[in-house]
Amino acid sequence: MDFQKQPHYLGIDLGSSYTKFAVINDDGDVVNSQVLPTFGRRRERFNMAVDLMHKNYSIQKTCTSGYGRNSQKSDIQKTEIICASVGVSQSNPVHKCIIDIGGEDIKVIESGSQGEVIHFHMNDKCSAGTGAFITEIAEKAELEIGEMSDLAQASNANRTINSFCTVFAKTEILGWIFDGVPIEDIAMGIYLSITDRVCKLPIPHGLPIFLCGGVITHHPFLKQLIESKLGVEAQVASHPLYAVALGAALLARKSDSQESRK
């Protein structure tokens, strides 16, 4: 069968900061994935990306997820909680806990072996502990996102940011800078703050833990801190940045399969 004529499915995770795309074939394998800043003025780039995927693949159905799932025409729309559960479950068909640290929120999802959502919890302290929080605080500290993990690993400090509010947290960081706190200790302090926010959520005991989302993708050292805080091992999910988009694509395939059986 010609590759372009094979059935493919598109999942789009329209997040608060970035939009993630995942194209899968009929076997559920990811054949294309990419990320773009969520539209705003960049809708043209978004439209071009979607058009190119339809040109290169025989897209049968599209599923959108994330904050902007209803802003883009698609065959089905599903929440990012459902899609994260389905996406992580593809490679991990077990009863588990998924911790998804995104741009604007933290989600703790108890997920069944078939990807069903059993329970979920979200943070209720605005964007504290999320990607947006890290970005703003790191910018105030003149920290490059890509260097934070390496810097934090070089620190033995246990000082953490106490403020939930981003505005107050930036003021707190400014005080650290004035006090001459080493840059690696500042990176560690930001990470310890994120870890505290995550671990204050009700995380079910006795289940394997899988981490996904943009934050764990770009800040891998957080995995060690979360493991240390919880006293258990955690795994980073396959395609952690694209877990929701992958789940959306899998749900698009499932919807197409169900319709074909009618």
Q: What CATH number is attached to the domain comprising 110?
A: 3.30.420.40
Give the per-residue pLDDT at 253.
97
Quickly count: other Cβ atoms within 10 Å of residue 31's Cβ.
16
Query: Are 144 and 201 in a shared domain?
Result: yes
Query: Are 119 and 78 in a shared domain?
Result: no
When divided into structural domains, the chain yields a total of 2
Query: Are 14 and 82 in a shared domain?
Result: yes
Query: Are 164 and 246 in a shared domain?
Result: no
- The whole-angstrom separation of Cα 169 and Cα 222 is 19
- Write the DSSP string, 172-223: HHHHHHHTT--HHHHHHHHHHHHHHHHHTS-PPTTS-EEEESHHHHH-THHH
Task: Return the C-alpha torsion angle 78, 219, 191, 99, nearest 10.
Answer: 30
Query: Are 19 and 103 in a shared domain?
Result: no
Domain that holds residue 146: 96-236
Residues ≥6 apart with Cβ < 8 Å to 132: 16, 17, 103, 104, 166
Report pLDDT digits (tens) over 72-95.
899 999 999 999 999 999 999 999
Query: Are 101 and 211 in a shared domain?
Result: yes
Query: Are 107 and 135 in a shared domain?
Result: yes
Query: Are 63 and 142 in a shared domain?
Result: no
On whether the CB atoms of residues 107 and 247 are closer than 8 A, the answer is no
108 closest CA partner among 98, 93, 118, 96: 98
Query: Are 210 and 109 in a shared domain?
Result: yes
On whether the CB atoms of residues 232 and 35 are closer than 8 A, the answer is no
Query: Are 151 and 30 in a shared domain?
Result: no
Query: Are 81 and 109 in a shared domain?
Result: no
- Compute mean pLDDT per 10 residues along the chain, 262 residues long, and list them: 78 92 96 87 84 95 94 94 98 97 91 97 73 87 93 93 81 93 94 91 94 95 96 95 98 85 58
Query: Are 100 and 217 in a shared domain?
Result: yes
Give the per-residue pLDDT at 256.
80
Query: In the structure encoding, which two tokens stand for residue 124, read together?
Result: 């209720």
- The whole-angstrom separation of Cα 18 and Cα 179 is 35
Give the per-residue pLDDT at 4.
64
